[in-house]
Chains A and B, each alone.
Chain A
Amino acid sequence: MSRHTITVNVNGEDITREVDARNLLVHFIREDLDLTGTHIGCDTTSCGACTVLLDGRAVKSCTVFAVQANGRSVETIEALAADGNLHPLQEGFWEKHGLQCGYCTPGMIMSAKHLLEENPDPTEEEIRWGISGNLCRCTGYNKIVEAIQYAAEQQKEAEA
């Protein structure tokens, strides 16, 4: 099996590591980089708990090989809070009780981040559509939708 030296920009920092070809991106993030905010849920490309942004697009990091991220950028949940301040999405999940057990939350937030970057003012239906690749078994989704709406409002106000 081949091994490869890869350089990946993770949360703004270029990181070089050696990986086995078969290492999945999610394992690279969690085990090689100790960034355990990205969760492993189903391991079957179903649940979206492992969602990260790869070159700005939300993808399931359990379904990408780490070697494929060579020369690209990866953003994980750890990148969101800045200078001790929560990101508007994190604040939204806090304010609107967008989580119960919290397992799906990092993936949910990364999907929502991509959604709001593409569509800063989504309708409720567009939000539900945007997070339809992320499973939550606790909330029934209503509070998650409210959390994302809250973040969209905050971001709009910040820009106004």
Chain B
Amino acid sequence: MIPGPFDYHSPATLDEAVALLGQNGDAKILAGGQSLIPAMRFRLALPEILIDINGIAGLDGIAEAGDKLVIGGLTRESALEVSDLVQQKYPLLADTARVIADPLVRNLATVGGNLAHADPANDHPATMLAYDAEVVARGPNGERVIAIDEFFTGLFETSLGSNEILTEVRIPQPSAGSGGAYVKLERKVGDYAISAIAVQLTLDGDAVSAARIGLTNVSPVPIRSPGAEQALIGSSPTDEVLEATGQAAAAECDPSADLRGSVEYKRDLTRVLTKRAVARAVERAKGGSA
């Protein structure tokens, strides 16, 4: 399958890339290309202009700065997998990176692309929702910061302007007593989630003092489950509280029936996986590793 015709540009700077986005015509950013190129081969995407940002220096990297973990938009998933910092301090992110597509895809696929594509089946949206991350966008008028809660606006749609490029993701450093986990059920390596749950929480003594829960592939737009978060916050994570949390997530998700399962199955799976993810996050919070 051959993609439709397009003009290819490989700018050396972000300013050039932003200027190219502002030209006439339907332009797309090519980062890892692991979602875009398959979509182009199926002719689901027919951009007239492709702007390859892989030649722009300084768009990748994983480092703490101030009270944030800063991840360059062009950072490959495989870099997260081998980052000691991510593995030790950001287990929710480490869990997520390990289950995205397959190792070959992760050698090219980027964190920024996974978010900007805004596929509700992608894994980073739920994780970044749970982390309360920020997205940095660069446009003709400079840089702006978008809260992750304001980022996903529809199926494959974000609040990025048509002439903006996602350059960075910023995750707040977890406070003491925090823990996180991503639990995904997939039919096989490389498939999208049937359902997956991202949890980031903080314990104060035995009680959960803060929690955010993101859901993957059980709604048309990446979402949090506020009901599940409320069921958890202020309580000790007993079996009863975990069950109530899972039930709230099941009630608030909005899955579609497809070849991965019926609506009823996906809802119940969301309940079960939420309980598992919360239990693992609590375990990690108690273990001292964030």
Contact = CB atoms under 8 A, between A and B. Distances in A.
A24 B38 CA distance: 11
Contacts of B10: 67, 70
B103 A22 contact: no
Given A65-B33, A133-B104, 14 more contacts: A1-B7, A20-B5, A21-B6, A21-B50, A22-B2, A24-B2, A27-B2, A45-B38, A58-B104, A59-B107, A62-B41, A63-B37, A68-B30, A68-B54
A127 B32 CA distance: 24
A73 to B, nearest CB: 14
Contacts of B154: none
B107 A48 contact: no
A35 interface: no
A132 B102 contact: yes
A120 interface: no
Interface of A is mostly: mixed
Interface residues of A, number: 31
Given A59-B107, A133-B103, A133-B189, A45 B37 contact: yes
A133 B102 contact: yes
Contact of A58 (B38, B40, B103): B103
The bracket for how many chain B residues form the interface is 20 to 34
A149 to B, nearest CB: 18
B6 A132 contact: no
A43 interface: yes
A76 interface: no
Contacts of B107: 57-59
Contacts of A67: 8, 10, 52
Contacts of B108: 59, 63-64
Interface string A104-129: 00000001000000000000000001
Given A64-B33, A68-B54, A111 B6 contact: no
A27 to B, nearest CB: 8
B6 A22 contact: yes
Interface string B82-110: 00000000000000000001111101100
Interface string B189-217: 11000000000000000000000000000
Nearest to B37: A63
B227 interface: no
B104 A65 contact: no
Nearest to B38: A45
Contacts of A43: 1, 41
Q: Which 4 A-B pairs have the closest CB atoms?
A: A133-B102, A1-B5, A133-B104, A21-B8
Contact of B7 (A21, A62, A63, A132): A21
A65 B37 contact: yes
